[in-house]
Homo-oligomer: A and B are copies of this chain.
Amino acid sequence: MNDVVGKLRELLGSGCITDPEVADAYLTDWRGLLRGRATCVLRPNSVELLAQCVRICREAGVGIVPQGGNTGLVGGATPNDSGFQAVISTASMRKIRSIDPVDMSVVAEAGATIADLQAATAEAGTLFPLSFASEGTATLGGALATNAGGISAVRYGSARDLLLGMEVVLPDGRIWNGLRTLRKDNAGYALKHLFSGSEGTLGIITAAAMKLAPQPRVCEVAFCALETEDQVLDLWMKLRAAADGNVRAIEYLSGSCVELAKRDGLRSPVQRANHYVLIELTSSRRDAGLREMLEEFLAGALEDGTIVDAALAQSGEQRKQMWRLREDQTEVQKRAGRDFKHDIAVPVARVPDLLRRCKAGIEAGFADAMVVPFGHVGDGNIHLNVVLPAAVGTEWAREQGKRIGELVYDIAISLGGTFSAEHGIGRAKIDLLEKHRDPVEIDLMRKIKGALDDSGLFNPDRVFSRPLG
């Protein structure tokens, strides 16, 4: 092992980190729930160096954990406890190589953060459409490796949908240069789509070309109060038709979510209700008439009883306040007790069933549990979170949490849904994959993994429950 580290240090100099204190940030996951050990943390600053690191590790049989911003929620980028894995971080590969406002594309290295990309492309008069809570730290490579979704996926799609081209270091140390910026390219298999969402198990994404969108010039935000789960779906159906492609976000919040936020000092702009929906419309057309359209839409929805109250933001400050009710949920729920997250999705038409059945099931089976679901209703993607009182014991809470998880995932699956909508499998959801996915599907995945990484070098013990072969 010393021999390998010696070679890597020779190659990277200070880019090979072995001091445990310096390495610490790379060994602990974002939420501080997982802590691993590593033989070393590598920060190569070029694709060639990164490929050399892979070759050295491969020769010595050292497993590699690729890492972007390390903001994943399922432990995909944190090394295990063995101390035998090497972390390869893209933190020293952050260059934004080109922004082309004519072609509407950006080419950047994998370590560029989502926020950096947003800022740089905005300066060029365009929009980098990906947007999610951890965007200040999350990287392009990580977002692609996990196919990150977020709040604007309803309009622009998830990371994979925005992908034009990719550069990848393969488990055998070769570099695949697929960094094209074409909108149509039916010349061979969809390799870039395959690498996207493979969570570092098939290759390390080192650079990517992504689609940009025209910069929005008008934006309208409204906050609605609704009585029933069916009305939430009804509102989305009507809005989808009324606003055509202009819905940038439609976010659901349960009554309980807003009550929790109020306890923390936030204010709701509408009357108290069982359910809330935040709407954001955007357009690059100044004359798109979004405000009139939204006013008319909300008036109609009030009149026909789809909603019971609504507020249309009159200023940037009011827009921000409405968004805080949604964006602060992670923090608000953390402060409320022991929070258990379930990132699930169902067909959009089944969202009301999902909300009803989860609430009823959890409230019937778990006396102290508070159900606080919120999320991307336009994608059928609900974060079906549950908070247990802070006072309960750790062991008991863990046991309860496990049972709640089983309930929630079983309901989602029975509605044709998934146990992982946008966070991936990582280490946390391997059992769920084994339990809920067709063995044929898992076998196909294992065959592809075996074909591209026969020695299981890349992100071992992620996605798959046991070694290959």
Contacts and interface: CB of A to CB of B under 8 A. Distances in A.
Interface of A: 100, 102-105, 146-147, 149, 153, 157-158, 160-161, 170, 174-178, 180-191, 193-194, 196-198, 202, 214, 233, 237, 240-246, 283-285, 287-289, 293, 345-350, 376, 378-381, 416-425, 429, 432-433, 436-438, 440-442, 444-445, 447-448, 450-452, 463
27 contacts: A102-B233, A103-B347, A104-B240, A153-B184, A174-B440, A176-B441, A180-B418, A182-B380, A182-B417, A183-B378, A184-B376, A185-B345, A186-B423, A186-B424, A187-B418, A187-B437, A188-B197, A188-B433, A188-B442, A188-B463, A189-B448, A190-B196, A193-B193, A244-B288, A285-B293, A287-B293, A451-B451
Contacts of A194: 189-190, 193-194, 448
Contacts of A198: 189-190
Contacts of A240: 104, 214
A185 B245 contact: no
Contacts of A285: 241-244, 293
Contacts of A190: 147, 160, 190, 193-194, 196-198
A422 to B, nearest CB: 5
A448 B447 CA distance: 8
B379 A184 contact: yes
B191 A186 contact: no
A115 to B, nearest CB: 22
Contacts of A378: 183
A237 B102 contact: yes
A376 B241 CA distance: 26
Nearest to A102: B349
Contacts of A157: 161
A284 B241 contact: yes
Contact of A445 (B174, B188, B202, B380): B188
Nearest to A450: B451
Number of this chain's copies in the assembly equals: 2
Contact of A244 (B183, B245, B346): B245
B437 A183 contact: no
Contacts of A187: 418-420, 424-425, 429, 432-433, 436-437
A196 to B, nearest CB: 7
B448 A448 contact: yes
A426 to B, nearest CB: 10
A134 to B, nearest CB: 15
A421 B183 CA distance: 8
A405 B214 CA distance: 35
A349 B103 contact: yes
Contacts of A436: 187
Contacts of A158: 184
Contacts of A429: 187
A284 B214 contact: no
Given A102-B348, A182-B380, 13 more contacts: A104-B240, A104-B348, A147-B186, A161-B161, A178-B441, A183-B381, A184-B421, A186-B424, A188-B197, A188-B441, A188-B463, A191-B445, A447-B451
